[in-house]
Amino acid sequence: MKSRSQTHLNFFALDPVVHLVLYDNFLPFLISSIPNTMRNTELFERAQITTPGGVNSPVRAFRSVGGVPRFITRASGAYFWDAEDKRYIDYIGSWGPAIVGHAHPTVLKAVQAAVELGLSFGAPTEGEILMAEEICRLVPSIEQVRLVSSGTEATMSALRLARGATGRDKIIKFEGCYHGHADALLVKAGSGLLTLGNPSSAGVPADFTKHTLVLDYNNTQQLEDTFKAMGDQIACIIVEPIAGNMNLIKATPEFLKTMRRLCTEHGTILIFDEVMCGFRVALGGAQSIYDIKPDLTALGKVIGGGLPVAAFGGRADLMAHMAPLGAVYQAGTLSGNPIAVAAGLATLKLIQHDGFYELLSQQSAKLAQGLTQIAKTAQISFCADSIGGMFGLYFTEQIPTSYAEVLRTDKEKFNRLFHLMLDNGIYFAPSAYEAGFISSVHDDAVIQTTLTAAEQAFAHLSES
C-alpha cells in the first residue's frame, strides 16, 4: 500500500496536461471543503500588524461599542456576510451609497460593461458629461459641477472656492457636523460664542483652524449675533442640512432660512454638505425638502453607487472661479473615474422610478416607529426618527436637535443594544453618534425580522 506522501508526490508527477485538468476541476472543490479558519478575530489581529488600529477608517474598529469588528466577505440586497459566513441585515449600506441594495443587477451590469473598456484614462469621458448633466437636472441649485473622488475632497474644494470667490478667510461650521477630514474642518467649538475653533485632531496646527468659527446646530440667535459682529469677514457657512454624523439630526426650517437670509445680506457663500443626505432623503436632496437654494452643494455616496465618486457644484458664476477658468486650483488624477461614474449613473436612474422615495420613507418610518413602540413596552427611555432612507436611534425621551443633546443620550445602553442585535444578525452602525441607512430592498420581512430581534434585545435591557 502506498503512503499518503507517495500518493501526494505521484499526483505532482503526473503528465502536466492531466495535472492541469485535475487542478482546474477539483481545486475549487478542495478549497471549499477546507474549514474557514480566517475568523473575524484572527483577521482583526492580523490587520493590526500592518494597518493602524486594524482598519482603514476609524469607526470600523468598534472602539466606540467594544468588541471585534466583522470582516465582510460579500453582500447582496439587504444583507452582508462576515468572514465566519454569518449573515446580517445591513443598516449601514456602505454608510449610505447602497440605496438600491447591495450588488443590484443593473448597477453590476453597468460596472461590468465599463470595466471591459478600461479602468481609467486620465482624460475626459462622455460618462463624466452624463453624470454632470444628471446632477444638474436633479438638483436645480447646481448649474455646474465638478467630479472628485471623496466627500472630503468635495467639501474641501467647495471651501477653497468660497474663499477664493469672496476674498475672505473666516468660515462657519456647526458643532457635530462632519465635513470630512480636511484640516480647516477638523474643529471643535471654542470656549465662547465667538471664540475661534480649536483643532480636534492631532497634526492640525491651530493656525489652520483660527479662521473657523464653530456654532451650535439649530441655534438661530448665535447666527444672528455672529453675522452682526463679523458678517463682512465670513467667506462661507458649511452645514449638513440633515446631519448624520452626530446621529440623525434635522435642521429646523427657521435655522436654514435664517442662514440663507444672512448669507445673502452679507455676500457670504452658503454651502450645503449633502454628501450623506443628498439623494438619500429625497431626489433633490435635503434642499428640496426645505425649499432652500444654497450657493454650493457637496455630494457623494449615492452618486457613486458604492464606488468612490463625489462632487461639488453650484452657481455658474462661482464655478467659473475654478481652474482652468479661474484662479482657484483643484485637480484629481482619478476624478470622474469611468467605472465609478457608470455605477453612479446606474444608481441615479434607479432612484428615479415612481414611488421610490415614498417606499424608502415608509420603510424607514416602520423601523423607527416599531423600535420606539418596543422600547416603550419595555419601559426604556428611547426614541427613533427617520427621513427618506436615513434613521436615528436615541436612548433619550426626546429626539435631539443639537450635538449637546446627543451627548446626553445613554451611550452605554446603545452599546449593549448594538451587541444584542449584532448577535441576532442585525448590523446597526457601531456608534451611538452615527445615522443608520435602509435601502429599497429592506422589505416588510426584513423590517419584521429586525423588530422581532429588537423585542428580545429590549426585554433583555429592561431586565438588566
Per-residue model confidence as pLDDT tens for the chain (464 residues): 444 334 333 433 444 444 444 444 444 444 344 446 469 999 999 999 999 999 999 999 999 999 999 999 999 999 999 999 999 999 999 999 999 999 999 999 999 999 999 999 999 999 999 999 999 999 999 999 999 999 999 999 999 999 999 999 999 999 999 999 888 888 875 444 334 556 788 888 888 788 999 999 999 999 999 999 999 999 999 999 999 999 999 999 999 999 999 999 999 999 999 999 999 999 999 999 999 999 999 999 999 999 999 999 999 999 999 999 999 999 999 999 999 999 999 999 999 999 999 999 999 999 999 999 999 999 999 999 999 999 999 999 999 999 999 999 999 999 999 999 999 999 999 999 999 999 999 999 999 999 999 999 999 999 87
DSSP string, 340-403: HHHHHHHHHHHTTSTTHHHHHHHHHHHHHHHHHHHHHHTT---EEEEETTEEEEESSSS---SH
* CB of 127 closer than 8 Å to CB of 336: yes
How many other CB atoms sit within 10 Å of the CB of residue 359? 15
User: What is the set of active-site residues?
Assistant: 178, 273, 301
Counting runs of H as helices and runs of E as strands, what totals does the chain give? 16, 18
Taking the model in full, what pTM does it have? Answer: 0.90
Question: Does 3.90.1150.10 match the CATH number of domain 41-102+354-463?
Answer: yes
- CATH T-level assignment (fold) for domain 105-350: Aspartate Aminotransferase; domain 2 (3.40.640)
Q: Which of 168, 148, 151, 172 is nearest to 160 (CA)?
A: 168
Domain boundaries, the chain: 41-102+354-463, 105-350
Q: Which cell numbers hold the place of 187?
A: 474643529
Taking the C-alpha atoms of residue 161 and residue 153, their distance in angstroms, rounded to an integer, is 12
Phi then psi dihedrals of residue 447, to 5 deg = -60, -45
Same fold, 41-102+354-463 and 105-350: no
